[in-house]
Amino acid sequence: MGIGKICYIFDLLKVNPFVQSQGRPHTLKQILEDREIIKVFHDFCEDTSALVRQYGVHCDGVFDTQVAHRLLKSFPSQSMGSACVTYRNGPLEMKD
């Protein structure tokens, strides 16, 4: 997860960022469910299914770049690599 120039990685096997802990003003659940905070994902379908099923998190305020790409180009499902080629006029070197 990136906010501005800061990137956060959550190891869900070691810590549960969806529950309140001392020193943390908000849980990841509160952030993901806040419709005022726009969250950008690519191919969010499986992610949202897992978040609901495993953690009871119902995301709001989500912008899915894959859905936007399909709407703009009227193409069937596209990969992140395909979207990068289309919108950057070339592949994204750091995609992997």
**pTM for this prediction:** 0.64
pLDDT digits (tens, 9 = 90+) for 8-60: 887 878 877 887 777 666 788 888 999 998 888 888 988 899 999 988 999 99
Domain boundaries, the chain: 2-88
Which pLDDT score is estimated for 90?
Answer: 66
83 phi, psi to nearest 5 deg? -65, -40
Contact 68, 91 (CB under 8 A): no
Contact 51, 57 (CB under 8 A): yes
In DSSP notation, 31-89 reads HHH-TTS-EEESS-HHHHHHHHHHH-----SEEEHHHHHHHHH--S---HHHHHHHHHS
